[in-house]
Amino acid sequence: MQLTLHTDYALRVLIYLAMHPGQRVTITDLSSFFKISRNHLVKVVHELGLKGFVHSVRGKNGGLSLSKPADQIRVGEVVRAMEVHFHIVECFNPQKQGVCPIQPQCSLTALLGRANEQFLRELDEAFLSDVLLRG
């Protein structure tokens, strides 16, 4: 079981920004620090902007910063927003309805849905600032 690399990278970007409050961070900074391809980071950062997690200033001296203080961004909120789907097993997918013939007699989806909710609830308890260890 794992989150997508897209969500993983989104969390890393936000944690980096939380570690550098008041600074404008560029994609070049992020790409060279994390050794992650610019192309992938451009997509991640674009979506983080659309979802309201980062604020971007264009031009010379431009860059990214968190749109809210790190102690106001819940990790669960980021994962819920960035993860493409939570189709824990195939029958969660609306396009796969009816594919599995035991579905009418099976309540696994409800059970896995509750388990997923417990997973996210734990992440809702923590703010970005909580995952930074003071060195």
Cα separations in angstroms, 4 against 10, 26, 106:
10, 23, 27
Binding site for a second copy (CB under 8 A): 1-5, 7-8, 11-12, 15-16, 19, 33-35, 75, 83, 85-90, 99-102, 104-108, 111-112, 114-116, 118-123, 126, 130-133, 135
Minimum Å gap between C-beta 15 and a second copy is 6
DSSP 135: -
Cβ contact 124:77 at 8 Å? yes
- Closest to a second copy by CB, 66 vs 75, is 75
- Closest to a second copy by CB, 71 vs 122, is 122
- Closest to a second copy by CB, 55 vs 88, is 88
